[in-house]
Amino acid sequence: MKPRAIFIAGVLLAVGTFTAFPVQASPTASTLEPGSLARAHTIRAQIGARYRALPGGGLAITEASSTGVVESFALLTPDLLETRFLPADNGIYYATCPVRATCPYPARRLARPAADLAPHRLALELALHTFLESSADVVVNPFANTDLTFPALNALASHWAKRDVVVECPASLETWIADKNAGGTWAYTFRDADWTRIKVGLCEAALAAEQPDYGGIEPWLVAIAVHVITHESWHLRLWQGRRDEARVECKAIRSDRRSFLRLGATPDQADDLYSWAWAFHIRQAKLFPEYRLKGCGAKRPGPLSPPPPPPHDGSGPMAAG
């Protein structure tokens, strides 16, 4: 039996595996075995009826179709450093959307909390039934184009903002690219908003700060992610300097080490991450003068760990002279 694939764009990213998005549109439709599409319509009607009325908001399966003109899907790892391509042949595409929302980019207020398992359950039910009842090899269900939030990141941002604020994490690269405010930024917020929206992938990187090896994510990415969230948090704090990039950036670098610790990093990890955050901070100030604050006084990173003591067997370096 050949392996069959489920892509639940965004949802899988949230649990630390992959996010998927379609690439390579083709003028010719990809093949779908006869009967599979009819079966998919029946599955959509049967399962969809049960999900339309849920406590906390219903879910609608708005489409069941062939993966059609898409030739393949790109799968991205959470650190965005690795991409794999998988063929979309013989696939079924289900679109799911919160009831009353406009998809694929529903409004923020209709976003589902990350802890809400209903979209995950619906996606798995769709996949399971489709694989059992048809010969489709791929099931795609790009729900979760709504933003995700994580309690640990909201708590971190609220700590620095000194009020309750939310860190919004795009569930897929698609929604970040589609966001007209996001172009070329690491994150953004609006004046005196109580939320900030962070570049896709950075929330997952920040949450890895507490893991022994950062969950396999590069330390520089973890450090930048936490720094960016800390920087935005200082924009969200209702203080005099909140609209001054230089003052906000200075507060951020001075807060970073405590941010790492708050997210569960060990003191050694916090030192390690701080050296990367510092490098990023210096880079920003060099490239963009508006981020540069004279006399900021942020601490330079120290040596990461003390060097081992010299050997006492007389084999050490000889004194010159």
Contact (Cβ atoms closer than 8 angstroms) between residue 169 and residue 207:
no
Q: Pick the closer one to Zn ion by CB: 41 or 163.
A: 163
Residue 26: which residues within 8 A CB-CB, separation 6 or more? Answer: 69, 70, 71
Site for Zn ion in 239-268 (CB under 5 A): 245
Q: In angstroms, how far is CA 316 from the centroid of its own chain?
A: 49
Minimal distance in Å, beta carbon 231 to Zn ion? 5
Q: Pick the closer one to Zn ion by CB: 79 or 245.
A: 245
- Secondary structure (3-state) at 22: strand
Minimal distance in Å, beta carbon 228 to Zn ion? 9
What residue is closest to Zn ion based on CB? 245
Q: Pick the closer one to Zn ion by CB: 171 or 298.
A: 298
Minimal distance in Å, beta carbon 235 to Zn ion? 5
8-state DSSP, 296:
-
Minimal distance in Å, beta carbon 187 to Zn ion? 8
- Secondary structure (3-state) at 93: strand
Stretch that binds Zn ion, among 151-159, 173-181, 208-216, 237-245 (CB under 5 A): 237-245
Q: How far apart are CA 5 and CA 70, in angstroms?
A: 15
Give me the amino acid identity at 176: W
Q: Pick the closer one to Zn ion by CB: 129 or 231.
A: 231
Minimal distance in Å, beta carbon 242 to Zn ion? 9
Number of residues that bind Zn ion (CB under 5 A): 1
Q: In angstroms, how far is CA 100 from the centroid of its own chain?
A: 25
Other Cβ atoms less than 10 A from the Cβ of 17: the count is 13
Q: Pick the closer one to Zn ion by CB: 71 or 245.
A: 245
Residues in contact with Zn ion by CB under 5 A are: 245
